[in-house]
Amino acid sequence: MKKILLICLLTLSMLNAKDSVEFKYADKDIQRKNPTSQNFILSYNNIIKNVRTSVVNISAFKTTNNARVYGSPYYNNQQQVPQGASGSGVIISKNGYIVTNNHVVAGADQIKVSIADDKKEYGAKLIGRDAKSDIAIIKIEAKNLNAVTFFNSDEVKVGDIVFALGNPFGVGETITQGIVSATGRNRVGIVEYEDFIQTDASINPGNSGGALINSAGHLIGINSAIISRSGGNDGIGLAIPSNMVTTIATQLIDTGKYVRAYLGVGISDINEDMRSFYDNSSGALIISIEDDSPAAKAGLKRGDLIISIDGRAVKNASSLKNIIGSYSPSKVVNIKFLRDKKIDIVNVKLGSLDKQIASGTLNYKGMNIIPLPLDLQKLLKINFNVDGGVLVKDVELNSEAYSIGIMKDDIVVQIENSEITNIAEFKSAISTQDKKRIYIFRRGNIFAIVL
């Protein structure tokens, strides 16, 4: 009986026992060192000194029709209104090539560049720009410039000390310090291709296009945007990583434009419920495949989870989009994917995104017309009782469409007596050379213009 009681007590004791916690303490002998001294000053001046003349101030001037300024095609006074914008750029070659943000120079009639410690103001020529990544290349006629040294942005680590160089608010050359807060930041909604380095170094208006450098003075990114509720610096600055910059800049310099590769899949992330079907792997889930696309020809299917491209890990849908967008058309890539919990590998010859887009677009009088996205069609029908139309994706500067006030994101809903719901109907309606009344939907209103 005593033996049974003892066992019961021991069992009860085990049930009531709690896991012990062993705290980890710092070394008791740790010493403090004073970073200040009468004999030396902590400074990065030597690093900054070598880079400051690689960063330039950019002034971009646009001549804008005041009919566009007031947003009304009925405003008859066609006076040209000069507008100026200020930003920054980084010298990437001794002979005058400069990288900046697309939004700094887009639509500019005239671009001026000034360099620290150089009294001369240089006129710059636009070489090429890529709105989808917010990168542009300009060039000045100069020699023996101080070109920046690039750092492999794949090796940037959270916690690295960084400096942001630029010309915020037009006050002049300014340098701020911080750390790398995050890498691979995407889904911010600023541009189509996002893979930002995040920093708490102060980035303000005018810093756009400036340099983000590490403590060795090497370029790790191009300052592009901030996330802010107030419009000022809230400690969340975003920079385009240097590897993306060099890839896009090379093609812009060589050809004047950047053409991305095309796979032809609709993709999404996988949630926690779905992850168990794919051995808890990360990747991009194929939810649709376009007919006659590179993906279709290679045998990829809906439900496949793409986990790597040429050995580069695919973390999510945005990651796949950025990786494919970094390749040139006709590139053959090795795609590793999961299907029915089995890993498979296939080689895919990528297509051209520009050709794919061009097959569904039309340029007329300087406006780039594309089909109206389905979600926008539904929104217009529900809120404004508008049945379809075609979207003005962009308007060429100084074109006929531009001069009469047609703007980006306008929706063409009717031409003469023909309602427009797709590209084919638009083509048919403009088939003659006569002047035409074009009905535009903009900000809740429909108005007519003659083109």
DSSP per-residue letters across 175-232: EEEEEEEEEEE---SSSSS--EEEE-S---TT-TT-EEEETTS-EEEEEEEE--SSSS
Q: Are residues 371 and 342 in the same domain?
A: no
Q: Are residues 249 and 158 in the same domain?
A: yes
pLDDT digits 0-9 by tens, 228-275:
766 666 678 999 999 999 999 999 999 998 989 989 888 888 888 888
Q: Are residues 265 and 251 in the same domain?
A: no
Is residue 149 within 8 A of residue 94, CB to CB? The reply is no
- Give the pLDDT confidence score for residue 290 in this predicted structure: 81
Pairwise CA distance, residues 436 & 420, whole Å: 14
- Give the pLDDT confidence score for residue 160 in this predicted structure: 96
Residue 75 has pLDDT above 50, yes or no: no
- Identity of the highest mean pLDDT range in 2-6, 263-267, 423-427: 263-267
- Give the pLDDT confidence score for residue 18 in this predicted structure: 62
- Give the pLDDT confidence score for residue 14 in this predicted structure: 54
Q: Are residues 309 and 393 in the same domain?
A: no
Q: What is the DSSP letter of 109?
A: S
Pairwise CA distance, residues 178 & 242, whole Å: 18
Q: How far is CA 250 from CA 216, 241, 247, 300, 316, in A?
A: 24, 15, 6, 31, 27
**Catalytic residue (one of 130, 134, 200, 304):** 134
Q: Domain residues for 89?
A: 47-140
**Catalytic residue (one of 54, 86, 103, 242):** 103
Residue 81 has pLDDT above 50, yes or no: no
Catalytic site includes residue 103: yes
Catalytic site includes residue 208: yes
Q: Please count the structural domains in the chain.
A: 4
Residue 202 has pLDDT above 50, yes or no: yes
**Catalytic residue (one of 54, 86, 133, 208):** 208
Is residue 427 within 8 A of residue 415, CB to CB? The reply is no
Q: Are residues 298 and 350 in the same domain?
A: yes
134-148, 219-233, 435-449: least confident range: 219-233
- Which CATH number fits the domain that encloses residue 94? 2.40.10.10
- In a domain, residue 38? The reply is no
- Give the pLDDT confidence score for residue 190 in this predicted structure: 80
Mean pLDDT of 101-116: 90
- In a domain, residue 30? The reply is no
Mean pLDDT of 39-46: 86
Phi, psi of 406 (to 5 degrees): -70, 135
Query: Pick from 216, 236, 255: which residue ends a domain?
Result: 255
- Give the pLDDT confidence score for residue 186 in this predicted structure: 84
Pairwise CA distance, residues 306 & 284, whole Å: 5
- In a domain, residue 25? The reply is no
Q: Are residues 232 and 292 in the same domain?
A: no
Pairwise CA distance, residues 336 & 346, whole Å: 7
Pairwise CA distance, residues 415 & 411, whole Å: 12
Quick one: tokens of 356?
């794919």
